[in-house]
Structure 1
Amino acid sequence: MSLTVRRIEYADQPDYTRLGGEAFGVPATGPSVPTSEEWAASGFREWGAFDGEGLAARLRVYGFTSWFHGARVPTAGVAGVAVEPERRGSGHIGRLFRAALDEAREQGDVLSALFPSAPGIYRRLGYEVVGSFDDVDVPLQNLNRVAAPAGVVTRRATTADFDAVVAVHRRWAAAQNGPVSRAEKPFWTPPEKFFADYTGVTLAIAGSGEAVGFASWSRGEGYTPSTTVMEIDDLIALTPDAARALWRTLGSFSTVVGTARVATSGLDPAWLVLPDLTTSVHAAHPYMLRVLDVAGALGGLASPLEGVRVPFAVRGAEDIAGAWTLTVADGVTHVARDAVAVEDAHHDRPVLDANGLALLYAGAQSAANLRFGGHLTGPEAHDAALTALFAGRQVHVRDYF
């Protein structure tokens, strides 16, 4: 049966919503179809695969920027991927992704990211796990032993402090690889809504009056420590004393709250001030990345490796396969395509598959580890340079979509 892949229209919303409910669980009240006004204002890019029996598969794309190598990079975030159970295994996802990612490139996105329910499906499409967004439980009674901060105090933030909160997040995020910039919808929210979403937002203030950290938290119900959990969406600190001040403020709830469930990723420096790591992972959400545009993603990066020249090739994924040369001139990377067939490239240059390119770009794995995993082949002479070009920033993710 022929399959048509196209953008979702508002008339498709009942079927689109139904399929999402089947895949991700239907609330007791039933799935809610957005109004035409809500749908038009959402800014989502939704795609569907249709056959003679109607909607067979769907996905949604969020257009946003994420921080990599000190710059905000246009990113296509994919979510809500669903296929009717009777049509699974028919190749619908591959066709959907090809159409959606082609459009993403046309709109200027050079990366794509997603949170997978089954990573193996998306590895075949060139995505690879570069990090994880985790909910980690911290016993509040342990926070009473955090050393007292020097020169940093905490206070409750108000809407007047919104710019200070944004500035702290931006400074932290720009030093990592992966965080959503929160500069675009749906990750940017007006100040009033941001503060309304939490019981409180606590600022860490240095002696100079500058905000050097913040925590956004929801108190939760109950007052029995053995059963009560408070949720921390962000705990971001720009100094160790800011981290100490925020942890101690949260720890002051320990007589009525037993656990802080903190949204985090990787080894966050804010956790290095804790006296121990008696924690448990409540939920882990692997994060996958794919490069959509080799020159667009790898070019224009600030680099201290002046004069470095690295030829490389990408194999496998047709949309990014090719031979390239990366050079560093005037402190910036430049990427040019070479007239070399991919099948011949392994003679004179390292060859990455799409998964390996994502891992290397994110700084998640070294060239040596990519070889151990089968993602990098060919001569090893440029391995040290490849590793150095993209290393130096930790992978962190703080927003789920």
Structure 2
Amino acid sequence: MEHTVSAMPTARRPGCPFDPPAELTEAREHGPISRLPFPDGHQGWLVTGYDLVRSVLADSRFSSRKELMRHHPIIDYGDIEVPPAPPGEFLLMDEPRHSRYRKPLVGKFTVRRMRLLTERVQQVTTEHLDAMEQAGPPADLVTAFAKPIPAVIICELLGVPYEDRSSFQEHIDKFLGGEASDEDLIAAYTATQQYLAELVAAKRADPTDDVLSDLLDSDLTDEELRGIALILLSAGFDTTANMLALGTFALLRNPAQLAALRADPALADRAVEELLRYLSVAKMFMRTALEDVELGGHTIKAGTAVILQYNVANRDPERFAAPHTLDLRRQDGGHLAFGHGIHQCLGQQLARVEMRVAFTALLARFPTLRLAVPAEEVALRPETADIYGVKSLPVTWDA
């Protein structure tokens, strides 16, 4: 029997900041795939089952091309034509264009290379914990800790000068935060593109020891390098920043799990994987069927939009035992927080290193860390944001 979700939910239940909107979980209970009407009248599909989400991500009959994403599950774009992704922005491309941009980067983000960065991540983390401690409680963990650590690391990897980091952070926040006006979005995107054009030109004139300079020897144009830099900067900053802040919030709201991690720092790797599964901050992605495809007992017609709900798939009881429970000792891994298939997150190993180091150091430095406000007063990002998380996280500790 075909199930229909009346509209894409845009709010989480009060008191449940870590759970997907209740309507999405209920949809999965009816089956792994549901009908979803879009605001512009398009009849799309919502995929919430783990196995089906994974299968779509690995199926080349479903496209990531930006120009095919004419419909939005929350916003009515009307008759606006969606242009193809700009050169270099490979997340919104299919093969072979996708591989042209991703392939030169794969060797830069291997497990080995990212583990070699551990010492630098530790240094950056220590510097920011020192500053927090010296300033004394309370603190906003987002601005003091969660944002600056991944921002410093990704800027260093790409060769972005340290003094430019704050303006870059501000622009990324605006076009990924889900609350900026159209005018502010355009202004932030335009300013970022202009900055990256200047950065690429500077690297051409004076290459340094960074990923962007390494790419100068390829046949990539300046415009393509700018697009690649935008993807790496935004993805390498915003997702990890929100995982650090929202992950700390989740640990503080689960004292038994927090105590287990404090008692056994060797649990950090498994804790990172469980927090990734449990929170799934990159909560949703879209694909478009290129031809008629049978999926979960339904025919997805060519041109139809399919919403892949990562955060619900990562709570699928057919894949994970007690899926709504945060369990840092969980054995059933294999979450989809980094996606799957050709678009699986390029920087996932870097994110793992940053989270493992940062969570461990934070809890060791501040053994009495706790929320400085009631949990219900913590300001959350809206569901319209590309990446879910908290706007701020006021914390305190015994000085």
TM-score under structure 1 length normalisation? 0.21
Question: Whose strand proportion is higher, 1 or 2?
Answer: 1
* Rg larger for: 1
TM-score under structure 2 length normalisation? 0.22
Question: Whose helix proportion is higher, 1 or 2?
Answer: 2
- Higher-RCO chain (CA-CA 8 Å, sequence separation at least 6): 2
